[in-house]
């Protein structure tokens, strides 16, 4: 029996967006309860695969590296709260056509590898505060930001005592 790896596909923010999101998380945590996510963990999950048998890893790495070049923007201006996982997040008032299309295309490609898209609507968001007992006191980001994305990453989530640690296993672009 081979080991499994906890995998997801993500977009990482540029440094300016990462700093702005981390500052927003620090600002919100005292109002919402919970704790701010560390700046290095800020990302948008496009496809969460969960525990995947390590024997399938090579095909997923190949899929990631072969993904066409990306160039897009995402305007974040909204705050939200998922009560069940207790997360305060940043997202958009208006859906991002680029992100919705990327999510659809990615799940179509993953279906050829035996993965099935979730039966819920994709809500592009970046988690800011975990274990949040309350929603943010306002519904808008203090300063809207424009996140420019240019690469797709396949990431492994390693659960530990201090929370999740993320490690990029493959990217469709040489930067990582």
Locate tokens 């969960």: which residue? 50
Question: For the CA atoms of 147, 167, 51, 152, what is the dihedral angle to 10 degrees?
Answer: 40
Instruction: Spot the catalytic one: 31, 43, 112, 113.
Output: 43
Residue 123 falls in which region: left (phi positive, over 0), alpha (psi -120 to 50) or beta: beta
Is residue 7 a contact partner of residue 113, using CB atoms and an 8 Å limit?
A: no
Look up 125 and say whether it is catalytic: yes
- Torsion region of 131: left, alpha or beta (phi above 0 gives left; psi -120 to 50 gives alpha): left
The catalytic position among 113, 125, 173, 176 is 125
Q: Confirm whether 151 is a catalytic residue.
A: no
- For 124, phi then psi, to 5°, come to -60, 125
User: What is the three-state SS of 19-78?
Assistant: HHHHHHHHHHHHHHCCEECCHHHCCEEEEEEEEEEHHHHHHHHHHHHCCCCCCEEEEEEE
Rounded Cα–Cα distance for residues 32 and 74 (Å): 25
Report, as residue numbers or ranges, the catalytic residues: 43, 125
């Amino acid at each position: 029996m081979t080991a499994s790896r906890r995998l997801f596909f993500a977009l990482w923010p540029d440094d300016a967006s990462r700093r702005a999101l981390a500052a927003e998380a620090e600002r919100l945590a005292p109002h919402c309860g919970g704790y701010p996510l560390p700046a290095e963990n800020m990302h948008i999950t496009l496809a969460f695969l969960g525990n995947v048998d390590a024997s399938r890893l090579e095909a997923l790495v190949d899929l990631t590296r072969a993904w066409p070049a990306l160039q897009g923007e995402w305007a974040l201006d909204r705050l939200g709260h998922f009560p069940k996982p207790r997360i305060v997040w940043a997202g958009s008032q208006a859906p991002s056509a680029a992100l919705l299309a990327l999510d659809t295309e990615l799940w179509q490609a993953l279906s050829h590898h035996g993965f099935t898209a979730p039966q819920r609507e994709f809500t592009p968001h970046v988690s800011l505060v975990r274990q949040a007992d309350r929603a943010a006191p306002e519904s808008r980001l203090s300063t809207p930001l424009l996140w420019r994305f240019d690469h797709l990453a396949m990431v492994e989530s390693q659960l530990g005592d201090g929370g999740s640690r993320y490690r990029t296993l493959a990217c469709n672009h040489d930067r990582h």
